[in-house]
Amino acid sequence: MNNPLLSVQDLSIEYVGDKTDFRAVDHVSFDVAPGEVFGLAGESGCGKSTIAFAISRLHKPPALICGGNIMVAGRNVLDLDANELARFRWHEVAMVFQSAMNSLNPVLRIESQFHDLLKRHRGYSKAQSRERCAELLKLVDIPADRMRDYPFQFSGGMRQRIVIAICLALEPKLIVMDEPTTALDVVVQREILQRINELRRQLGFSVLFITHDLGLMVQFCDRIGIMLDGKLVEQGTADQIYRAPTHDYTKKLWASFPSFHAPAPRQENAQ
Amino acid sequence: MVFLLRRLCFYLAAFIAAATINFFLPRLLPGDPIQIMFSSAGSTLSPENLEALKLTFGFVDAPLWQQYLTYLASIFTGDLGLSIKYFPLSVNEVLGRALVWTVGLMGTATLISFTLGTMLGIVAAWRRGSKFDVIFSVSAIVATSVPAMVTSLVALYFFGFTLGWFPTGYAAAPALDPAFSFEYISSVIYHAILPIITLSIVLTGGFVVTMRNNMINLLGEDYITMGRAKGLSDRTVMFWYAARNALLPTVSGLAIAIGTVLGGSLVTEVVFNYPGLGNTLYHAILARDYPVIQGQLLIMTLAMLTANFIVDVSYVLLDPRLRRA
Amino acid sequence: MKNVILGLLRNKKALTGLLILAIIIVAAIAAPLLTGFDPARRVGLPHQPPNADHWLGTTRIGQDVFSRLIYGARTSLAVGFGAGFIITAVGTIMGIAAGYKGGKVDEAISFLTNMVLVVPNLPLLLVLASFIGQASPVVIAIILGGTSWAWGARVTRAETLSIKQKDFVKAAEMLGEPGWRIMAAEIFPNLVSIVGINFIGSVVFAVITEATLEFLGLGDPQAVSWGVMLYSAQNASALQVGAWWDILTPCFALVFLGTGLSLLNFAIDEVANPRLRTGNSLARWVGRVRAGEGSL
């Protein structure tokens, strides 16, 4: 791929234990192009979330990156010093977390959670932040006058939309989504994914989408990587992964899906 | 608001419970309750005064429930009886004088130890496993298991008697008359320093342990990770994302800690011969001055309930979920 | 349960705490072998500093401080563990009953618990003890047990509420097991670490409070205990006359016992709550980062 936005190269991450270490990510490499949606699938514990955290260097002890590079827009994230890292975070890579109910600070008003970010990265005043906050909330269909409310006053789906609005605040090149809809019910899940897709077309960011739900992933992603026990066992376009999986594990994953879950038109093609 | 009203009703019930203990305790013990309570009164009180005192405590010729109502009535009209030891002073006067010193001592020490302990707990949790954490969390635990009298006695021995840096008793130089003069006030401060420091040391450990544990339990939450992912400074995430939330359980724990504060200040006052409630209670116990002893329990319960109410209010202010409810 | 014990044996704080506790228990049991002096009798000149005969000096009435220290440990341990047991038993039973039964039972117990929590404990104890007169250590242990269970009950109740929702409890209910059996056999075993923390915390509290009551003159002055040692030393103006051994000895003993128990308690908390743990893995992690084997 020419000039990928995100390039994970030969990445290995270990969890340091009391006596022995556990290798959660084992020599993983993949690229994400500008504007592309790349999906990372696999069962829980296969290391996919560890990669998501490592991209913004959010992993904490006992996790340790023990090999490889993470290049974002040509810069190696692992070489950034503390100042550069603070400027890099959210400005280039924003992130949506798994628990929609719990990613917003419960004791701060919504507007403050925009303001701390905008003040830090852009030096905005309160008034400027409020203006920007209103704009962003509109993008995700939340009335601007609710910016003075607290997170507990919103439903799970609304909270996740607010998180997405915060993600867009600095117009990042990449948004990492770690199981962004797992905690939500199916209808809300669809709504949110459609919204993300529209925004992506409009604004042109890339998405690294992480889930264990392969069916959902095939509908949403351009390309997909399949992970097993820390290794990336297969990657290809969504079509390839769906129609002609090569690895045994991918086939098993498909076999484990009840057929009605898969997208209907493609299923006909497959038969 | 409903929340605070419900708390107020509960406090009223708790206060009546303390009064009930006072009422039944002498009556439940073997022997004549009047004999138990007023045996030492003969030498100081006149017969009329003794009669009035008996009435205050519900010793009337009537069934038990009427005695009980009589006692509750005198309490709710603010009549706690006469002191036997300090006659002719009333219990109210004796305790009123002492209360000022105790509130000053307790208030200052609580403020110091809560601020200091919470800050240390925040930083220890944030830098978990570091030297700072190990040193402060282990010494905090040890501090929580040291009785207040031990800290007071050791401090008094070294800084009072051996080094002679601080006075070894009283709230001000005995030669001075209470006045709003620089001399008197500075003497009061000078006398308060050692008791306040001692009490603060006793209390700080508990706040460190509570805050550290609450913080650590929160550090895995997604909103903390999101704060970090947003590229906010460590300070912002530490205080506005982690500590601000960890403060909620800490503040609700503060309500229980106030009991410890009160106990600690009782003992500290006795060791430093500081004229607060604790010392008054101590001397009342030595003199078997039961009206003062019983009045103490009520006053201290009242103090504890007031402190609890302050905690409730600050909890409501800190937690938006309760504020709107 | 097994994991908790195994975890404790690997924990430095737990081992230090156990060692301290073992030293005190052995000294208390072996007291007659360690000293020939009767702790209650006059056996030397008044207020002698530590010397070859009297290792920790003598009191103002000529009792041997060392023998009072190790015999006194018996009282402190007995009251501490006795009262600690009562406090924990009452608190655990109340907590489990309130949490599991719910409804009226819960309301009644929670109301009582909250009530006890807001009536200040030490003043209440002082009033009780002052009416009873010179309270023997046994009486003090019983009073402590009856008035200090509330904190444990509250914590146990909260934990019971979350265990009640677990599948194995639901399963036992479906099988028609009686309520008391579910509480004793299904819920209680899952509360082991909380009950353990509650117990040790209560022992510390009981030891401190017994000593405090005695120090304030509410105990039996003839008893041999650390609190009475402090009381007599304070009455003998030990600080003013510079007899530091008389007053610092029981102080040190209380700190020593309290430290041991608290370390043990902290360790149980760490073992039971993995989030609080700062074990070996963190040290190895730091080591590998320093060695340049990886990046943060």
> What percent of chain B has a predicted confidence (pLDDT) above 90?
16
Q: What is the DSSP string of B50-91?
A: HHHHHHHTT--SS-HHHHHHHHHHHHHTT---B-STTTTSBH
Q: In C145-166, which positions are buried (b, 16+ CB within 10 angstroms) versus exposed (e)?
A: bebbbbbbbbbbbebbeebbee
* Interface contact B270-C244, CB threshold 8 A: no
Confidence of residue C47 (pLDDT cuts 50, 70, 90): confident
How confident is the model at residue B144, as a pLDDT? 84
How confident is the model at residue A271, as a pLDDT? 36
Q: Which residue of chain B is at minimal alpha-carbon distance from C205?
A: B145
* Interface contact C289-A64, CB threshold 8 A: yes
Q: Is C209 exposed, middle or buried (0-12, 13-18, 19+ CB in 10 A)?
A: buried
How confident is the model at residue C74, as a pLDDT? 92
CB B215 within 8 A of CB B122: yes
pLDDT surpasses 70 at B112: yes
Q: Using CA atoms, how far apart are residues C292 and B130, in angstroms rounded to an integer?
A: 19
> Taking Cα atoms as reference points, which of C199, C218, C202 lies closest to residue C126?
C218
What's the complex ipTM? Answer: 0.85
The full 3-state SS of chain C, as one line of letters, equals CHHHHHHHHCCHHHHHHHHHHHHHHHHHHCHHHHCCCCCCCCCCCCCCCCCCCCCCCECCCCCEHHHHHHHHHHHHHHHHHHHHHHHHHHHHHHHHHHHHHCHHHHHHHHHHHHHHHHCCHHHHHHHHHHHHCCECHHHHHHHHHHHCCHHHHHHHHHHHHHHHCCHHHHHHHHCCCCHHHHHHHHHHHHHHHHHHHHHHHHHHHHHHHHHHHHHCCCECCCCCCHHHHHHHHHHCCCCCCCCHHHHHHHHHHHHHHHHHHHHHHHHHHHHHCHHHCCCHHHHHHHHHHHCCCCEC
How confident is the model at residue C194, as a pLDDT? 86
Q: Using CA atoms, how far apart are residues C229 and C76, in angstroms rounded to an integer?
A: 12
* C281: chain A residues, CB-CB within 8 Å: 16-18, 61-62
* Interface contact A66-C281, CB threshold 8 A: no
- Which chains contact C through at least 3 pairs of Cβ atoms less than 8 Å apart? A, B
* Interface contact B223-A104, CB threshold 8 A: yes
List all residues 6 or more positions away from C39 whose beta carbon is below 8 Å from its beta carbon: C63, C64, C67, C68, C71, C72, C224
Whole-number average pLDDT of chain A? 86
Q: Does C20 touch chain B (CB under 8 A)?
A: no
Cβ of B180: how many Cβ atoms within 10 Å? 6
- How far lies C174's CA from each of A99, C97, C98, C164, C178, in Å? 33, 19, 21, 13, 10
pLDDT surpasses 60 at A265: no
A233: tokens are: 């066992």
pLDDT surpasses 50 at B115: yes
Q: Using CA atoms, how far apart are residues A227 and A233, in angstroms rounded to an integer?
A: 6
Residue ranges of A 126-165 with Cβ closer than 8 A to chain B: 150, 152-153, 163
How confident is the model at residue A21, as a pLDDT? 82
Q: In the predicted model, what is the mean pLDDT of residues A55-68?
A: 86
Q: Does B317 touch chain A (CB under 8 A)?
A: no
Can you say how many angstroms the Cα of residue C187 is from the centroid of all Cα atoms in its chain? 24
CB B315 within 8 A of CB B322: yes
Q: How many residues does chain A have?
A: 271
* B226: chain A residues, CB-CB within 8 Å: 95, 97, 103-105, 163
pLDDT surpasses 90 at C181: no
Q: H or E segment at A266?
A: helix A264-270
* C132: chain B residues, CB-CB within 8 Å: 29
Interface test with B, best of C11, C79, C131, C269 (most B CBs within 10 A): C131
Locus of tokens 């003075």: A148
Whole-number average pLDDT of chain C? 85
Sketch the domain layout of chain A as residue ranges.
102-171
* C110: chain B residues, CB-CB within 8 Å: none
Choose among B10, B150, B156: nearest Cβ to C239. Answer: B156
pLDDT surpasses 70 at B211: yes
Peptide linkage before A106 cis (omega within 30 of 0): no
* Interface contact B222-A97, CB threshold 8 A: yes
Confidence of residue C142 (pLDDT cuts 50, 70, 90): confident
Q: Using CA atoms, how far apart are residues A70 and A74, in angstroms rounded to an integer?
A: 9
Sign of CA dihedral C286, C287, C288, C291: positive
Locus of tokens 């109502």: B69
* Interface contact B304-C240, CB threshold 8 A: no
How confident is the model at residue C1, as a pLDDT? 61
Which residue type does A171 have? E
Q: In C272-294, which positions are buried (b, 16+ CB within 10 angstroms) versus exposed (e)?
A: beeebbbbebbebbeebeeeeeb
Q: What is the DSSP string of B115-145?
A: HHHHHHHHHHHHTTTSHHHHHHHHHHHHHHT
Q: Does A97 touch chain B (CB under 8 A)?
A: yes
Q: In the predicted model, what is the mean pLDDT of residues A136-145?
A: 91
Can you say how many angstroms the Cα of residue A240 is from the centroid of all Cα atoms in its chain? 22
Q: Does A58 touch chain C (CB under 8 A)?
A: no
Q: What is the DSSP string of B220-252?
A: TSHHHHHHHHTT--HHHIIIIIIIHHHHHHHHH
* Interface contact A64-C281, CB threshold 8 A: no
Confidence of residue A267 (pLDDT cuts 50, 70, 90): very low
Which residue type does B237 have? V
CB C114 within 8 A of CB C98: no
Going by DSSP bridges, is the β-strand pair A93-96/A75-76 parallel, antiparallel, or unpaired?
unpaired
Q: H or E segment at A23?
A: strand A21-32
pTM for this entry: 0.84
A146: tokens are: 């609710």
Interface test with C, best of B16, B85, B149 (most C CBs within 10 A): B149
* Interface contact B230-A166, CB threshold 8 A: yes
Q: Does A14 touch chain C (CB under 8 A)?
A: yes
How confident is the model at residue C280, as a pLDDT? 67
Q: What is the DSSP string of A228-243?
A: ETTEEEEEEEHHHHHH
What is the CA angle B81-B84-B85, rounded to 5? 135
How confident is the model at residue C295, as a pLDDT? 65
CB A43 within 8 A of CB A212: yes
> Taking Cα atoms as reference points, which of A248, A233, A190 lies closest to residue A215?
A190
Cβ of A85: how many Cβ atoms within 10 Å? 16
Q: Using CA atoms, how far apart are residues C67 and C229, in angstroms rounded to an integer?
A: 11
* B308: chain C residues, CB-CB within 8 Å: 118
> Taking Cα atoms as reference points, which of A32, A36, A37 lies closest to residue A55?
A32
CB C210 within 8 A of CB C140: yes
What 3-state DSSP class applies to B42? coil
Residue ranges of B 114-143 with Cβ closer than 8 A to chain A: 129
- Which chains contact B through at least 3 pairs of Cβ atoms less than 8 Å apart? A, C
Confidence of residue C274 (pLDDT cuts 50, 70, 90): low
pLDDT surpasses 90 at C8: no
How confident is the model at residue C64, as a pLDDT? 86
Strand partners, A6: A32, A72
Q: In the predicted model, what is the mean pLDDT of residues C190-212?
A: 89
Q: What helix, strand, coil percent values describe chain A, rounded to 5?
A: 45, 25, 30
Locus of tokens 């203006």: A131
* A136: chain B residues, CB-CB within 8 Å: none
How confident is the model at residue A134, as a pLDDT? 94
How confident is the model at residue A3, as a pLDDT? 83
How confident is the model at residue C275, as a pLDDT? 64
* Interface contact B321-A152, CB threshold 8 A: yes
Can you say how many angstroms the Cα of residue B6 is from the centroid of all Cα atoms in its chain? 23
Q: Using CA atoms, how far apart are residues C91 and C113, in angstroms rounded to an integer?
A: 9
Choose among C280, C282, C295: nearest Cβ to A61. Answer: C282
* Interface contact A18-C279, CB threshold 8 A: yes
Q: Using CA atoms, how far apart are residues C287 and B58, in angstroms rounded to an integer?
A: 72
pLDDT surpasses 80 at C210: yes
pLDDT digits (tens, 9 = 90+) for B125-144: 998 888 899 899 888 988 88
A69: tokens are: 């590079």
CB A49 within 8 A of CB A56: no
pLDDT digits (tens, 9 = 90+) for B39-95: 776 666 777 777 777 777 778 777 888 888 888 888 888 888 778 788 778 888 888
Choose among C285, C293, C295: nearest Cβ to A62. Answer: C285
Q: In C100-135, which positions are buried (b, 16+ CB within 10 angstroms) versus exposed (e)?
A: bbeeeebeebbebbbbbbbbbbbbbbbbbbbbeeeb
* Interface contact C293-A78, CB threshold 8 A: no
pLDDT surpasses 80 at A243: yes
* Interface contact A105-B223, CB threshold 8 A: yes
- Which chains contact A through at least 3 pairs of Cβ atoms less than 8 Å apart? B, C
pLDDT surpasses 60 at B325: no
Q: Using CA atoms, how far apart are residues A10 and B147, in angstroms rounded to an integer?
A: 58
Confidence of residue A264 (pLDDT cuts 50, 70, 90): very low
How confident is the model at residue A270, as a pLDDT? 39
Q: Which residue of chain A is at minimal alpha-carbon distance from C283?
A: A18
How confident is the model at residue C77, as a pLDDT? 92
What is the CA angle A28-A34-A40, rounded to 5? 35
* Interface contact C293-A64, CB threshold 8 A: yes
* Interface contact A105-B240, CB threshold 8 A: yes
Can you say how many angstroms the Cα of residue C283 is from the centroid of all Cα atoms in its chain? 31
pLDDT digits (tens, 9 = 90+) for C72-117: 999 999 999 999 999 999 999 999 999 988 889 999 999 888 888 8
pLDDT surpasses 70 at A208: yes
Which of A95-99, A230-234, B114-118, C188-192 shows the highest mean pLDDT?
B114-118
pLDDT surpasses 60 at A260: no
Q: In the predicted model, what is the mean pLDDT of residues B198-221?
A: 89
* Interface contact A89-B324, CB threshold 8 A: no
Confidence of residue C292 (pLDDT cuts 50, 70, 90): low
